[in-house]
């Protein structure tokens, strides 16, 4: 829940007559917590810079003015290790489709935001915000359009950082995206000329303003308030407050769902014509309005000029705990955990130096008159004799031994130094493997990953802030840039759903991309490892070298691409030769198959001729039968004559011999018939089998030519027989 905000009347907005009362009310409600946050963040910032003089006075250690100026800063290194890792592993903003949206549209969203981020240094701004959050606890990011650059018509998309001492916000907001906050008040100092450029319509009023920041500024920790020489800067305040407004939305009765739409009345009519189920309704929506005040003069009051209703700020923090009832502990930085140890370490080093300098570290102890040549005691170098006078002992002259700092004090200083890293959650051995000089790269990476688990919470928080920033940036683009500018930036026309808030549903994701030289070199190394793992060239050299951080990359890329083109051409030629060889072998196989088929057809034609011979044989058999019948009749006549002449016995014997001969002749005829039938059936089966084999076009042509030749030969034979 957020703080309850009645300015002075719940139904009134700020205007020219009540703006001062409105600002006073906001400041009073957040003064206690904001001042505590400012003070602690200011101490953290001074510690990061190495200044601890104010603590020397508060703790009252009684150090001299000279010693209080010595600072042995160790805090900076742990902070830079964390923020340096974030810089090396920067993540990019990507958009993915959701609810069945068009993926081509989300791809264009990603391309245009990536282009803007690379052009206007938004990634660097975000890394700087993470660094300031680790130092001071919390900062705010605000995307905006800059009309003073190359595009004064539609503006350039940039991101502004509001440091810890330049904003006051609802002190009890709970959500990480500030959606439940009620107000955010930011303040900066600008020159009179800059004010005239921003608000040219108020030239007369601005010319009459005086530069007295100490009168209008209540943000006490801004550096402009510490300028002893009175400057001519004007105080510019942006007061964002949550309010309500009427908004037209589309309502679907069948789905019982509301939709937003972009564009004017013409676009609305097209949507309603295409989707008859939708109707226009007016609803009350929560929005953020802006009141711009210059030296307590209201110069603008109204809706968000960038035309979106979400909170215009993205908080980036280290530790934010609104449930904590101690105002100075609500926002904490990484430096906060190391402040006490850093101060004690600095104090111990100074004390050890005082111990070393408070005693005599050189010279001689002697009795008066014990040494004959006292000047030699002050000399050094090649060596001089020290003569002891008569009547004195050698113990009357002794060299002063330099006093040493106790070993326990040195160990305490080292312990305090190590304790700072432990409080920050950094183990130097895991980060760099300093104790193991032979550690492999994989070992170091595994140790770093294990140590980064301590900071995973903070990296996740920063990833979420980057998602919120990507959402606001895209809303600004969709609401303020036309299709012509978008097409110029992405190199193609926007999709039909680019500006549609109904169909272009998206989700913002952040993932590590190729943004830094370290990431690009790591990508190139991974490609080399993949090639080595598979034992072949999965990625060509031109694809790998583009990600390496080397000079002369363009010439190398051109040379490698030429080599790859030549190699590709040679490979194509070899493949063509191989294809030709394979084609020749295939044609040879087809020709052999065609010859086999022709031979089979020849055998088939022979079987047909055998059938003709079979019929001729049958006719000869019939003729032979008729002839044998005539012979039998003659034999019967002769038999009857022989019966009359020789008797019945001899006649029966001759009759049996004739029957045996007739039976043998019939058996021979049956065997010949069965043999012809078997060969005929075999030829039919072979013809059917060959007919089912698919033929190459060349075989078919060859078969057709052979068939035509055989038909011609058969026709010539028939004609010759007829003749």
CA dist., res. 518 & res. 469, Å (int): 24
What is the DSSP-derived secondary structure letter of residue 338? G
| Bridge partners (DSSP) listed for residue 364 | 399
Q: Which of the two residues, 418 and 550, has the higher pLDDT score?
A: 418
CA dist., res. 164 & res. 132, Å (int): 8
What letters, b where the CB count within 10 A reaches 16 and e where it falls short, cover 662-679? eeeeeeeeeeeeeebeeb
Whether the per-residue pLDDT at 685 is higher than 70: the answer is no
Whether the per-residue pLDDT at 7 is higher than 60: the answer is no
Q: Give the helix/strand (H/E) hosting 283.
A: strand 278-294
CA dist., res. 341 & res. 72, Å (int): 12
Least confident of 396-400, 417-421, 434-438: 434-438
Whether the per-residue pLDDT at 538 is higher than 50: the answer is yes
Query: How high does pLDDT run on average in the chain?
Result: 78
Whether the per-residue pLDDT at 551 is higher than 80: the answer is no
CA dist., res. 273 & res. 265, Å (int): 12
When pLDDT is cut at 50, 70 and 90, the band that residue 269 belongs to is: low
Q: What is the DSSP string of 505-571?
A: -EEEEEEE-S-SHHHHHHHHHHHHHHHHHHTS-SS-HHHHHTTS--SSHHHHHHHHHHHHHHHHHHH
Q: What is the pLDDT of residue 642?
A: 64
CA dist., res. 137 & res. 330, Å (int): 9
Closest CA to 261 of 276, 272, 253: 272
Q: Give the helix/strand (H/E) hosting 320.
A: strand 319-320
Whether the per-residue pLDDT at 605 is higher than 80: the answer is no
Q: What is the pLDDT of residue 28?
A: 86
CA dist., res. 338 & res. 488, Å (int): 50
Q: Which of the two residues, 63 and 622, has the higher pLDDT score?
A: 622
When pLDDT is cut at 50, 70 and 90, the band that residue 722 belongs to is: very low
Q: Are 485 and 110 contacting, i.e. CB atoms less than 8 angstroms apart?
A: no
Burial of 579 (0-12, 13-18, 19+ CB in 10 A): exposed
3-state secondary structure of 51: coil
Q: What is the pLDDT of residue 614?
A: 66
Closest CA to 288 of 299, 304, 300: 304
Q: What is the DSSP string of 178-201?
A: -TT--EEEEEEEE-HHHHHHH-GG
CA dist., res. 516 & res. 118, Å (int): 11
Whether the per-residue pLDDT at 650 is higher than 60: the answer is yes
Q: Are 349 and 72 contacting, i.e. CB atoms less than 8 angstroms apart?
A: yes
Structure confidence by residue, pLDDT tens digits, 516-529? 666 666 677 777 77
Whether the per-residue pLDDT at 29 is higher than 80: the answer is yes
Q: Which of the two residues, 641 and 96, has the higher pLDDT score?
A: 96
When pLDDT is cut at 50, 70 and 90, the band that residue 42 belongs to is: very high
CA dist., res. 290 & res. 138, Å (int): 22
Q: Are 637 and 654 contacting, i.e. CB atoms less than 8 angstroms apart?
A: no
CA dist., res. 155 & res. 143, Å (int): 12
Whether the per-residue pLDDT at 661 is higher than 80: the answer is no
Least confident of 71-75, 168-172, 334-338, 387-391: 387-391
Q: Give the helix/strand (H/E) hosting 279.
A: strand 278-294
CA dist., res. 301 & res. 230, Å (int): 30
Q: Which residue has the tokens 């007369």?
A: 204
Least confident of 46-55, 126-135, 174-183, 309-318: 46-55
Whether the per-residue pLDDT at 659 is higher than 80: the answer is no
Q: What is the pLDDT of residue 435?
A: 55
Q: Phi and psi (nearest 5°) for 508?
A: -95, 125
CA dist., res. 140 & res. 129, Å (int): 8
CA dist., res. 52 & res. 34, Å (int): 23
Q: Which of the two residues, 390 and 287, has the higher pLDDT score?
A: 287
Sheet holding 138-146, edge to edge: 156-162, 138-146, 314-317
Q: Which of the two residues, 435 and 237, has the higher pLDDT score?
A: 237
CA dist., res. 113 & res. 466, Å (int): 12
Mean pLDDT of 14-21: 87
Q: Phi and psi (nearest 5°) for 569?
A: -65, -45
CA dist., res. 214 & res. 224, Å (int): 9
Whether the per-residue pLDDT at 705 is higher than 50: the answer is no
Q: Are 181 and 242 contacting, i.e. CB atoms less than 8 angstroms apart?
A: yes
Q: Which of the two residues, 514 and 584, has the higher pLDDT score?
A: 584
Whether the per-residue pLDDT at 171 is higher than 80: the answer is yes
CA dist., res. 618 & res. 624, Å (int): 10
> Among 335-349, 381-395, 501-515, 586-600, which range has the highest average pLDDT?
335-349
Q: Which of the two residues, 690 and 194, has the higher pLDDT score?
A: 194
Structure confidence by residue, pLDDT tens digits, 213-255? 667 788 888 888 876 565 678 999 999 999 988 888 888 887 7
Q: Which of the two residues, 517 and 147, has the higher pLDDT score?
A: 147
- β-strand pairing of 183-190 with 397-399: unpaired
Whether the per-residue pLDDT at 652 is higher than 50: the answer is yes
Q: Which of the two residues, 435 and 178, has the higher pLDDT score?
A: 178
Q: Are 423 and 82 contacting, i.e. CB atoms less than 8 angstroms apart?
A: no
> Among 22-26, 516-520, 596-600, 711-715, which range has the highest average pLDDT?
22-26
Q: Which residues, other chains included, contact 336 with Cβ-Cβ below 8 Å and sequence gap of 6+?
A: 40, 44, 137
Q: Phi and psi (nearest 5°) for 381?
A: 125, -110
Q: Phi and psi (nearest 5°) for 91?
A: -115, 150
What is the DSSP-derived secondary structure letter of residue 411? H
Pairs from 483-486 (Cβ < 8 Å, separation ≥ 24): 485/151, 485/154, 486/108, 486/112
What six digits make up the tokens of 672?
Answer: 């010949």
Q: How many CB atoms lie within 10 A of CB 234?
A: 22
Reduced 3-state DSSP string for 685-701 = HHHHHHHCCCCCHHHHH
Give the distance, in angstroms, between the CA of residue 469 and the centroid of all CA atoms in the same chain. 16
Closest CA to 139 of 46, 38, 51, 236: 38
What letters, b where the CB count within 10 A reaches 16 and e where it falls short, cover 641-655? eeeeeeeeeebeeee
What six digits make up the tokens of 251?
Answer: 């309502």
Q: What is the pLDDT of residue 129?
A: 96
Q: Are 147 and 480 contacting, i.e. CB atoms less than 8 angstroms apart?
A: no
3-state secondary structure of 264: coil
CA dist., res. 6 & res. 12, Å (int): 9
Closest CA to 247 of 501, 508, 507: 501
Q: Are 277 and 254 contacting, i.e. CB atoms less than 8 angstroms apart?
A: yes
Reduced 3-state DSSP string for 604-659 = HHHHHHHHHHHHHHHHHHHHHHHHHHHHHHHHHHHHHHHHHHHCHHHHHHHHHHHH
Helix, strand and coil in the chain, % to nearest 5: 55, 15, 30
Closest CA to 114 of 461, 462, 463, 470: 470
Residue-level length of the chain: 723
Residue 90's alpha-carbon distances to 42, 86, 277, 395, 640, in angstroms, are 28, 6, 45, 71, 131
Closest CA to 179 of 278, 307, 313: 313
Q: Which of the two residues, 441 and 301, has the higher pLDDT score?
A: 301
Name the residue ranges covered by the structural domains of the chain: 361-402, 517-550, 592-722
For the entire predicted model, the pTM comes to 0.69
């Amino acid at each position: 829940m957020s703080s309850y905000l009645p300015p002075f009347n719940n139904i009134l907005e700020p205007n020219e007559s009540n703006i001062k009362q409105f600002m006073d009310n906001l400041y009073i409600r957040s003064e206690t917590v904001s001042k505590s946050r400012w003070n602690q963040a200011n101490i953290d910032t001074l510690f990061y810079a190495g200044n601890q003089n104010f603590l020397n006075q508060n703790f009252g250690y009684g150090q001299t003015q000279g010693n209080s100026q010595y600072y042995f800063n160790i805090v900076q290194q742990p902070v830079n290790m964390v923020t340096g890792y974030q810089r090396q592993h920067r993540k990019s903003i990507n958009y993915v489709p959701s609810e069945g949206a068009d993926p081509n549209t989300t791809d264009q969203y990603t391309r245009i935001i990536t282009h803007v981020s690379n052009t206007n240094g938004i990634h660097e701004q975000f890394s700087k915000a993470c660094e300031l959050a680790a130092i001071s606890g919390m900062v705010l990011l605000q995307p905006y359009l800059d009309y003073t650059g190359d595009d004064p018509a539609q503006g350039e998309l940039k991101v502004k950082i509001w440091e810890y001492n330049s904003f006051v916000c609802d002190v009890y907001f709970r959500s990480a995206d500030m959606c439940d906050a009620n107000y955010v008040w930011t303040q900066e100092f600008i020159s009179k000329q800059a004010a005239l450029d921003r608000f040219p319509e108020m030239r007369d009023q601005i010319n009459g303003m005086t530069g007295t920041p100490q009168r209008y500024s209540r943000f006490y920790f801004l550096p402009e308030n510490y300028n002893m020489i009175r400057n001519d800067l004007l105080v510019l305040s942006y007061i964002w407050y949550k309010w309500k407004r009427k908004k037209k939305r589309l309502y679907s009765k069948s789905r019982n769902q509301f939709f937003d739409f972009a564009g004017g009345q013409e676009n609305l009519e097209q949507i309603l014509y295409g989707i008859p189920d939708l109707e226009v309704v007016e609803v009350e929506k929560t929005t953020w309005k802006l009141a711009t005040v210059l030296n307590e003069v209201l110069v603008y009051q109204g809706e968000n000029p960038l035309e979106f209703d979400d909170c215009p700020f993205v908080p980036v923090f280290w530790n934010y705990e609104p449930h904590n009832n101690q105002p100075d502990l609500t926002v904490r930085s990484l430096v906060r955990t190391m402040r006490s140890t850093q101060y004690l370490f600095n104090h111990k080093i100074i004390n050890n130096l005082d111990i070393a300098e408070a005693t005599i570290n050189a010279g001689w102890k002697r009795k008066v008159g014990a040494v004959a040549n006292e000047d030699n005691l002050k000399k050094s170098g090649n060596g001089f004799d020290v003569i002891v006078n008569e009547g004195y002992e050698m113990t009357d002259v002794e060299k002063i031994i330099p006093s040493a700092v106790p070993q326990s004090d040195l160990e305490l200083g080292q312990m305090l130094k190590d304790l700072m890293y432990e409080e920050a959650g950094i183990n130097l051995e895991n980060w760099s493997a300093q104790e193991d000089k032979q550690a492999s790269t994989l070992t170091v990476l595994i140790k770093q990953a294990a140590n980064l688990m301590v900071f995973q919470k903070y990296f996740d928080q920063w990833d979420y802030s980057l998602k919120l920033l990507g959402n606001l940036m895209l809303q600004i683009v969709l609401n303020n840039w036309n299709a012509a500018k978008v097409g110029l930036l992405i190199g193609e026309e926007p999709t039909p759903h680019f500006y549609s808030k109904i169909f272009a549903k998206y989700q913002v994701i952040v993932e590590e991309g190729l943004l830094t030289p370290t990431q690009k070199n790591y990508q190139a190394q991974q490609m080399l490892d993949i090639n080595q793992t598979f034992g072949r060239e999965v990625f060509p050299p031109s694809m790998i070298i583009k990600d390496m951080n080397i000079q002369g990359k363009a010439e190398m890329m051109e040379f490698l691409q030429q080599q790859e083109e030549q190699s590709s051409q040679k490979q194509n030629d070899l493949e063509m030769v191989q294809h030709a060889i394979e084609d020749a072998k295939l044609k040879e196989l087809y020709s052999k198959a065609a010859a086999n088929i022709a031979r089979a057809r020849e055998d088939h034609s022979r079987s047909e001729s055998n059938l003709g011979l079979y019929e001729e044989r049958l006719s000869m058999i019939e003729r032979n039968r008729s002839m044998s019948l005539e012979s039998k009749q003659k034999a019967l006549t002769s038999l009857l004559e022989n019966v009359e002449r020789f008797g019945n016995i001899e006649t029966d014997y001759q009759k049996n011999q004739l029957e045996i001969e007739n039976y043998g002749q019939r058996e021979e005829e049956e065997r010949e018939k069965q043999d012809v039938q078997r060969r005929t059936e075999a030829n039919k089966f072979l013809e059917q089998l060959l007919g089912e084999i698919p033929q190459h076009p060349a075989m078919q042509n060859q078969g057709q030519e052979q068939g035509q030749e055989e038909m011609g030969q058969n026709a010539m034979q028939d004609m010759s027989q007829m003749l």
